[in-house]
Amino acid sequence: MRLLALLLLLPLTLAAANAGSAYHVRMQVDADHLFLPLSVTIKGKDRAAVDARLDAIRKELEKRFADQPGWELRETSSDFARAEAKNYASRSVTGSKLFGDEEDKGDVTYVANGRWELHTEADKGLKGLEILRVKASDLVKTKNDDEKQTVGDPAFALTNPQDYRNELLDQIKNDFEEAKKHLPEGQWKLELPNLSAPVEVKALGGKRYEVSLEYRMGFITPKPEKATK
């Protein structure tokens, strides 16, 4: 009962992670970036030409973001042209790939994909989003069925959660010092079980995020005093 009474005196920032002695210190922060996902798919009969076309689109995107502080292009994935998977359901029943029915090499279609995130500062809001849409436009030839681009839904992002580490550590220290005021000296210990672990991030919806670090508080059991003669 005494332990329960002591825990009730701790600041509200001491949120218990479980029934043991693990706790999290938490902060709510705003997103720092607004981004727009973009994907491009290029198809063609010439593998080298497909790769070259995707590379040309990449360079055009890079040019649209060059030397513009507050605007950033992030390539999330890219692959070289590869043969497109074929659907053999419509092949003639008289032909068999196992017995020398070689497919016409000229009929191979190659495909390459590139994916990017177009970033700006979250504070730019709707105006920034409109500029991102402009930067993502007119990258492919609209009348060419072999070139397609898809612009995804915009979203907020917290790209700098580690920037809050020192502030969270300060809050842990303050909470621990406040707790000790209500306890006999030397009875508590503070542990950071994995100081190198990244700051934990949880999306709360919209622009709001929660960042947190885990720590532990526990009793130090005094060593038994030696009997004196």
**How far is residue 133's CA from residue 127's CA, in Å, rounded to a whole number?**
10
DSSP-based three-state secondary structure for 210:
strand
Indicate whether 173 belongs to any domain.
yes
Please check whether residues 147 and 205 belong to one and the same domain.
no
User: Tell me, what's the pLDDT at 187?
Assistant: 59
**How far is residue 117's CA from residue 153's CA, in Å, rounded to a whole number?**
11
> Which residues, in sequence order, are bridge partners of residue 148?
41
**97 Cβ contact list (under 8 Å, min separation 6):** 88, 103
Report the length, in residues, of the chain. 229
CATH of the domain at 115: 3.30.70.360
Name the domain count of the chain.
2
Q: What is the pTM of this model?
A: 0.69
Helices (H) and strands (E) in the chain, counts: 4, 11
Residue 190 binned pLDDT confidence (cut-offs 50, 70, 90): low
Tell me which residue range forms the domain holding 6.
Answer: 2-31+160-219
Summarize pLDDT for 87-143 with one digit per residue, the tens: 544 444 444 444 334 444 558 999 999 999 999 999 999 999 999 999 999 999 888
Q: What is the token pair recorded at 116?
A: 């990017």
Residue owning tokens 């009793």: 219
